[in-house]
């Protein structure tokens, strides 16, 4: 299983519209990437660090696929459209990591 993790650092003074992200952006992601093997989506809302500090990330999105090839095909086909929607919900530059899940 492959997981694409999109992390939005909790930067002071930045904006992040979680409602838009869940209801509009992730709906767009699902609509575009389902045909490219998207298995499921998860969204984490940061609430704090273990030591009672602010969460290092305001939000983290997870996209699950069966193969890296599925991820690549989906992003090649729809990446520009998905990226162009980012300013509608945040001014944070997302960090993206593609991982292979090796243990659960």
Q: What is the pTM of this model?
A: 0.93
Phi, psi dihedrals of residue 54, rounded to the nearest 5°: -60, 150
CATH label of the domain that carries residue 58: 3.30.70.100
Q: How many CA atoms lie within 13 A of 23 on its CB side?
A: 5
pLDDT in tens, 8-24: 999 999 999 999 999 99
Q: Edge to edge, what strands does the sheet with 57-65 contain?
A: 38-45, 57-65, 2-9, 95-100
What confidence tier does 104 reach under pLDDT thresholds 50, 70, 90? confident
pLDDT in tens, 14-69: 999 999 999 999 999 999 999 999 999 999 999 998 899 999 999 999 999 999 99
For residue 57, give every residue at least 6 positions away whose Cβ sits within 8 Å of its Cβ, in sequence order, or none.
Answer: 7, 8, 9, 10, 44, 46
**What range does the domain containing 20 cover?**
2-100
Count the domains in the chain: 1
């Amino acid at each position: 299983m492959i997981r694409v993790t999109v992390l939005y650092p909790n930067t002071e003074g930045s904006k992040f519209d979680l409602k838009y992200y869940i209801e509009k952006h992730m709906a767009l992601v699902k609509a575009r990437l389902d045909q490219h093997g998207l298995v499921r989506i998860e969204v984490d809302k940061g609430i704090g660090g273990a030591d009672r500090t602010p969460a290092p990330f305001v939000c983290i999105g997870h996209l699950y696929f069966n193969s890296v090839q599925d991820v690549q095909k989906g992003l090649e086909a729809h990446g520009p459209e998905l990226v162009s929607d980012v300013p509608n919900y945040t001014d944070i530059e997302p960090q993206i990591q593609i991982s292979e899940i090796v243990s659960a």
